[in-house]
Amino acid sequence: MALSLPLPKPQQQQQQQQQQQQTTTTTDGEIQEIDIFHQFDVVSDSSDHHYLVNNIVDNENDSSSKKTKDGGGDSLTNISSGVYKKIMQEWKILEKHLPDSIYVRAHENRIDLLRAVIIGVAGTPYHDGLYFFDIAFPPDYPARPPLVYYRSFGLRINPNLYANGRVCLSLLNTWPGRKSEKWNSSESTVLQVLVSIQALVLNEKPYYNEPGNGVLPGRAIWEKKSNAYSENVFLLSCKTMLFLLRRPPKNFEGFVASHFREKASVILSACNAYINGQTRVGYYRNDGSCSSGNSSTVDVSDKFKGLMGQLYPELLLGFKRNGASLGHFVEPSVQPVEMKTRSFKGKAVIQSKKSGFARTVFAKLKRVLGLKKVNKSGKSGVKKKGF
């Protein structure tokens, strides 16, 4: 069942303040109200939260959630319990210290639940994307770290973020690490978790997050693999954008729509720059420059060009439906990709849609093997050798 709790006075005051709207004066002298999406806020609807049911089951099965040393009662509903007080401290830390690119929503009826969104940072293949995480405090928090679930839409965009939503991070005790990197109940916070995900997971070269990658000699080979991985990450990130526009998480509907209306032109310009080899994937900047500092044309895989060419029209349509003004953007012209197959007599055989070329190749093959066409009498056309 849901945990309905009265908000402490500081949160009540904060909620009232954040519900207020700012005003601005238009060129016509009219006053318009602008909804402000605050970085931290308290909301009521938690119906689509991943841990809405799971965390209740865990709490009911955990005897530590029934009675506490500091007054007894459920640790998540008893305002005098250490768990309740610690969660309130977490709220205050998030309210005061969130970076500009992270937004969090707490729930007044379920203080054990949080939802966070991280905006992808420029200079990474995650730039301008939105990445949502559902968070739950265990009943013995902070003895155990929070549970964190990535809303992946079935896509694996990082070695540390699984398609099933699992987040592998030493700070969450979901990945091996030194003692100093693991959860410390007296020092670690949710803010540290979110900043770590942004800085260490959603980084410039996520390929190297996989243990073993880049360890052996051969820097050029590793970098080539890293670039290919980043290309795929950007493609999956763009697909995630489309999923979010279709099914935005609750309490973030307006934020998602507004973000992609504002960033649509930048995202599409980046897609064009990557397809045309103007810069490596991830290095496009909002001003049209390249953060890699390389002005010459770079190699972009044919696979990426083809897949991006297919995805681009969907992005363009999705952004337009969302209200973005994109009149000057058109679909890029991407040439069909020719795929090489096994070589024959030292020459590469190229697949082509033209059947005439294929017939020529097979005709040569038949001549080498000593085969002829079946004649009109129905007799085999195989040459007899030695008779």
Backbone angles phi, psi at 381, to 5 degrees: -100, 25
Backbone angles phi, psi at 135, to 5 degrees: -125, 145
The DSSP element (H or E) to which 21 belongs, if any, is: none
> Is-cis flag, bond preceding 125, omega within 30?
no
Q: Annotated active-site positions, please? A: 168
The contacts found for 217-224 with CB under 8 angstroms, 24 or more apart, are none
The CA-atom distances, in angstroms, between 260 and each of 267, 285, 329, 330 are 9, 16, 15, 18
Which amino acid would we find at residue 294?
A: N
| Residue 152 exposure: Cα atoms within 13 Å on the Cβ side | 18
Which amino acid would we find at residue 2?
A: A
Interatomic CA distance for residues 304 and 327, integer angstroms: 25
Interatomic CA distance for residues 277 and 275, integer angstroms: 6
